[in-house]
């Protein structure tokens, strides 16, 4: 989706805090009933409309949790999330207009590549011929023309990642979240995809927040880098 709102940031995260009850398995022996683990403590972050921001931080620092709060998959203890100035904190995930590429893609194994990519438009009520056309177009843009009828279980790691990206973007979300999008790919593929990804996101002018632990990757893809520890 192209940027519309004037001064409003595309994504605005204000004072978000998240804590979990420590799972019993990890607190062997002594269960402190109030033993909560604080994952995010008052985190604020703003991404301008159409801007690509990379969030850096070591593994386990809560980067993924922040994305999940933005997507509405994790409910924060406190804090608000705004999309183009609109408070979406209380909205269910499917009404937020936020797309997400999961670290392990989460392609639907019972659907073809095309049906995966066309799923978002289908949920939005786009007519069959149009959503097929739109999905095919996105598959071309990620370099997977001709993959429409393939089974997603037969894809290579790089192909699956491109399908996940095409699927998220074909839904035309207001904000896209990328969770360690290039982790687990081999070096050469990683570098090539990083460049492609940067071009794709900027061409689409979509507000993007990506998390990574790789500084080079962040520099290649993003307009700006933020460190979670400093937020």
Partner 1 sequence: MDGAGARVNRLPRWLPVALAVGPTLGLLVFYAWPFLTLVVEAVTATAIADTLGRASTWEVVWFTAWQAAVSTLATIAIGLAPAYVLARFEFRGRTVLVGVLTAMFVLPTVVMGAAFLALLPDSLDRTVWAVIGAHVVFNLAVVVRVVGSLWEHLPTDMEAAAATLGASRWKVATRISIPLVRPAVTAAATIVFLFTFTSYGVIRILGAPGTRTIEVEVWRRATQLGDVGGAAVLALLQLVALIAIVSWSTVAQRRHAQALGLLATSARRRPRTAGERRFVTLVAGAALLVAAAPLVALVLRSFSTPTGWSTTAWTNLGRSEIRPGIRIGIDPVDAVVNSLTNAAWATSFAVVIGALASLAIVAAGRAGRALDGGLMLPLATSAVTIGFGMLITFDTAPVDWRASWWLVPVGHALIAVPFVVRTCVGVLRSVDPAMGDAAATLGASPARSWRATVVPYLWRPLAVGAALAAAISLGEFGATSFLSRSGGETMPIAIEQLLGRTGSVLQAQGFALATLLAATTVVLVVLVERLQTARNGPTR
Residues that bind partner 1 (CB under 8 A): 23, 68, 71-73, 75, 92-96, 98-100, 102, 104, 106, 108-110, 119-120, 123-124, 153, 167-168, 171, 173, 177
> Interior CA angle at 142 toward 136 and 148, to 5°?
35
Q: Give 71 or 113: the residue with its C-beta nearer to partner 1.
A: 71
3-state helix, strand, coil in the chain (%, to 5): 35, 25, 40
Cβ 185 to partner 1 shortest distance, Å = 17
CA dihedral 13, 58, 166, 156 (to 10 degrees): -160
Cβ 173 to partner 1 shortest distance, Å = 8
Cβ 93 to partner 1 shortest distance, Å = 4
Q: Give 137 or 224: the residue with its C-beta nearer to partner 1.
A: 137
Q: 59, 52, 50: which is closest to 212 by C-alpha?
A: 59
| Cα Rg of the chain (Å, integer) | 18
Residue matched to tokens 């192209």: 2
Cβ 208 to partner 1 shortest distance, Å = 14
Q: Give 45 or 177: the residue with its C-beta nearer to partner 1.
A: 177
């Amino acid at each position: 989706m192209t940027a519309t709102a004037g001064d409003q940031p595309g994504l605005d995260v204000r004072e978000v805090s998240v804590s979990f009850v420590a799972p019993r398995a990890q607190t062997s022996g002594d269960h402190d009933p109030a033993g909560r683990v604080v994952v995010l403590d008052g985190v604020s972050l703003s991404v301008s409309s159409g801007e690509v921001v990379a969030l850096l931080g070591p593994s386990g620092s809560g980067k993924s949790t922040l994305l999940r709060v933005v997507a509405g998959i994790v409910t924060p203890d406190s804090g608000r999330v705004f999309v183009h100035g609109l408070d979406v904190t209380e909205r269910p995930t499917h009404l937020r207009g936020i797309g997400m590429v999961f670290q392990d893609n989460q392609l639907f194994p019972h659907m073809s590549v095309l049906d995966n990519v066309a799923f978002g438009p289908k949920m939005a009520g786009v007519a069959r011929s149009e959503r097929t056309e739109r999905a095919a177009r996105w598959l071309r843009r990620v370099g997977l023309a001709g993959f429409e009828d393939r089974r997603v279980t037969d894809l290579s790691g790089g192909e699956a990642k491109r399908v996940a990206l095409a699927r998220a973007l074909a839904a035309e979300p207001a904000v896209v979240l990328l969770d360690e999008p290039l982790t687990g790919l081999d070096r050469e593929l990683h570098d090539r995809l990083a460049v492609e990804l940067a071009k794709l996101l900027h061409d689409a002018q979509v507000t993007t927040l990506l998390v990574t632990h790789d500084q080079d990757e962040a520099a290649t893809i993003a307009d700006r880098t933020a460190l979670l520890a400093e937020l």
